[in-house]
Amino acid sequence: MSSHRTVTVYPSPDLPLTLSEAGTGRPVLLLHGGGGPATVAGLAEHLSRSALTLTPTHPGWDGTHHPGWLTGVDDLALTYLHHLHDRRLRDVLVIGSSFGGWAAAEMAVRDTADLITGLVLIDAVGVHIENEPIRDVFALDARGLADHAWHHSDRYHVDPADASAEQLAAWQADMATLRTLAGDPYMHDPKLLHRLGRVRVPTLLLWGESDRIVTPAYGAAYANAFANAHLEVIPEAGHLPQIEQPKATCAMIDAYFPAWADATGYAD
């Protein structure tokens, strides 16, 4: 098992950024979605067996500081690019789940220094697709959210009545931060879809077949916008296949690593 360590860095003087780090080797930046870093913890553990895995907590999640100027996903993307520059990290694979996938895509279109050499987007939001609207998660109650987000919704549904006051307050604070960063326009950048054609690094999109927040058809249109992308649909999974189908998700990412290395000339 890889040794995990938590560090705090300052991409900006007023922005303490908390990262969990583990493993050694080629750097992987792993970006969580609205559910927080716990939703990618298992994936981080797997990746850290063969890579230097960096998992930041987005500012404002889990009680972390969220400066007032950080109001959009573009700010988040630049924050992470600045961190890669500050650490002098290159040949970086960026993996993002849901909202984190949007941030990963925004990083890729702004990566003028070519630090990123591969992308994995897992049920990512971030673009507008005609006739494939992104479900408004802010309008769903807990039961509705479970039905839209999970293939096995009964297994993962959490009744708010069973949560503590502290848990509810933490969840509400996370959702307030998500609304600040992604509420208007809702969960997308109107310009992003048209910019993705200039992203030429190998890009893998993984999609839960039962995702009703962003459907596999949305994922297919997302993939088509990239210059060099491939879509894989994962059966019996919803919006978070890394939780519902971790073996399949990890296997697809593992299979992607050699393709990424060969395509970029960074093969070991």
User: Has residue 114 got a pLDDT over 80?
Assistant: yes
Instruction: Supply the mean pLDDT for the chain.
Output: 93
**Is the C-alpha dihedral spanning 33, 62, 117, 44 positive or negative?**
negative
Predicted confidence band at 258 (pLDDT cuts at 50, 70, 90)? Answer: low
Beta bridge partners of 234: 208
pTM of the predicted model as reported, rounded to 2 decimal places: 0.94
**Residues of the chain above pLDDT 70, percent:** 95
Least confidently predicted of 72-76, 83-87, 177-181, 262-266? 262-266
Residue of 120, 123, 97, 99 lying closest to 108 (CA atoms): 120
Mean pLDDT value of segment 140-168? 91
User: Has residue 262 got a pLDDT over 70?
Assistant: no
**Residues of the chain above pLDDT 90, percent:** 90
* Homologous superfamily (CATH) for 4-93+106-264: Alpha/Beta hydrolase fold, catalytic domain (3.40.50.1820)
Residue of 125, 43, 110 lying closest to 80 (CA atoms): 110
Residue of 7, 177, 17 lying closest to 81 (CA atoms): 17
What's the pLDDT at 259?
Answer: 46
The domain ranges of the chain are: 4-93+106-264
Least confidently predicted of 3-12, 156-165, 220-229? 156-165
What's the pLDDT at 162?
Answer: 86
Residue of 40, 20, 24, 138 lying closest to 96 (CA atoms): 40
